[in-house]
Amino acid sequence: MSADVTKADQAGESAAGRAVGDTTATPSGPPVGGAAPRRDGGLAGFLSGPAGRNAGLVLALVLLVVVGIITAGDRFASPENALTILRLGSVIGVVSVGMTFVISGGGIDLSVGAIVALSSVWATTVATQTMAANIHWIVMVIAALVVGAVCGLVNGVLIAYGRMAPFIATLAMLAAARGLAEIIAKRRTQIIRDRGFIEFFGGSVLGIPVLVIMFAIVAVVGWVLLNRTTFGRRTLAIGGNPEAARLAGIRVQRQTMYLYILLGVACGIAAVMIMARTTTGTSTHGTLYELDAIAAVVIGGTLLSGGRGTIVGTVLGVLIFTTLTNVFTLNNLDTSTQAVAKGAIIVAAVLLQQRVSRTRSG
């Protein structure tokens, strides 16, 4: 029954063996929950721990890379291609990091793609671009971030204070935001004329594209925020047991609202990045991002029911999907085949996750 090794035991082990200090030495009292945690967990047990889950994702990524090298050879295994993969993954990666917070906090956001579209359109209207030309291209960036934040705020208020189900509230936002984007852009593609903006975000620092650096910064900040701050702890608490969090004095509604604003801002950043990559703003940007982001978060190991989240897992999830796309593209396979493969990966990951949570409750 090696698969039964609980997550607690794994967590204990990974935390420098501190949790192993059990009570076998003291004779009196009920030795309730267990003597020393068993260490002979075996592979399945290891894979169910947090470190093990990430190792599993790394393994999957390595397998994909091997497949890439075998099938596409040098076209795949080149520094340029590696940067291409990273650049492709960085936009959805930023959204996924934000999504990790919302899902860890017990919510869901279906409107991310639409928010990206609306932000990109709003930041590239004639009015905004004229203002940017007169002042600085940073105006476009601010416009994108503000639009994202406001959309997130609306989601957050509806969900936290209006007590709407997150699924419904963000579904409404999905429809409304993309519709608004179409109205504003009149369904036309808006070209960015500001050279400064494109040169800054389209450029590279020490050979690394700015977009990739932005993704890296967002991921690191996200990791610190989730794992090392009171904000992150509160997020996991309201996701794990909102009633307990409320009765411990945590302002659950406010925290919930913050999570959606945070994701909105992440969508604003993603909008800036996609604007830089395509040099346009259009209402078709970010189509189906919600599905890609949720998929990356879930295969990364964040619990869809909330209470547990992992930024590292999310980043690995994004890289797996992006690498998969890249390998398929290099082998001239169509996107439909890609979609099937993606679906299979999601199912496999969720099955694994269910197995883990069954182990924990058993």
Q: Contact between 6 and another protein (CB under 8 A)?
A: yes
Contact 121, 181 (CB under 8 A): yes
H or E, element range at 144? helix 138-160
Coil, helix or strand for 344? helix
Binds another protein by CB under 8 A, chosen from 68, 307, 309, 313: 307
Q: Within positions 246 to 275, which residues make up the interface with another protein, using CB under 8 A?
A: 246-251
If one asks whether residue 237 binds another protein (CB under 8 A), the answer comes out as yes
Size of residue set near another protein by CB under 8 A:
57
Distances in Å between the Cα of 339 and the Cα atoms of 95, 118, 218, 294, 301 are 20, 26, 27, 15, 21
Residue from 230, 332, 334, 336 touching another protein (CB under 8 A): that is 230
Q: Is 48 in the site for another protein (CB under 8 A)?
A: no
- Sole window of 81-89, 135-143, 227-235, 321-329 interacting with another protein (rule: CB under 8 A): 227-235
Min dist. Cβ of residue 55 to another protein (A): 19
H or E stretch at 95: helix 79-104
Q: Is 34 in the site for another protein (CB under 8 A)?
A: yes
Q: Are 101 and 309 in contact (CB under 8 A)?
A: yes
User: Rounded CA gap, 274 and 264, in Å?
Assistant: 15
Residue type, 137: W
Closer Cβ to another protein, 10 or 155, answer by number? 10
Nearest-5° angle of CA 9, CA 10, CA 16? 100
Question: Is residue 101 near another protein by the rule CB under 8 A?
Answer: no
C-beta separation of 149 from 259 below 8 A = no
Tell whether residue 50 is a contact of another protein (CB under 8 A). no
Would you say 224 or 351 has its CB closer to another protein?
224
Extract the tokens encoding 250: 């945590």
| φ, ψ at 106 (rounded to 5°) | 85, 15
Q: What is the DSSP letter of 301?
A: T
Told to check if 20 binds another protein by CB under 8 A, we report yes
Query: With binding defined as CB under 8 A, does residue 244 bind another protein?
Result: yes
**51 forms part of the interface with another protein (CB under 8 A):** no
User: Which contiguous run of DSSP H or E holds residue 280?
Assistant: strand 280-281
Round to whole Å and give the CA distance between 278 and 269.
Answer: 14
CB closer to another protein out of 28 and 134? 28
Contact flag: residue 234 with another protein (CB under 8 A): yes
| Binding test (CB under 8 A) with another protein, winner from 41, 93, 106, 264 | 41
The token duo for 129 is: 């671009």
Q: Does 107 bind another protein (CB under 8 A)?
A: no
30 touching another protein, by CB under 8 A: yes
Q: Is 315 in the site for another protein (CB under 8 A)?
A: no
Q: How far is the CB of 181 from another protein (least distance, A)?
A: 34
Among 78, 130, 204, 229, binds another protein (CB under 8 A): 229
Angle at 357 between CA 351 and CA 358, to 5 degrees: 85
Length of the chain: 362
Interface segment toward another protein; rule CB under 8 A; list 7-15, 48-56, 111-119, 289-297: 7-15
Q: Which of 118, 252, 226, 102 is nearest to 167 (CA)?
A: 102
Q: Which residues bind another protein (CB under 8 A)?
A: 1-2, 4-9, 11-12, 15, 18-23, 28-38, 41, 45, 224, 228-234, 236-237, 240-241, 243-251, 303, 307-308, 360-362
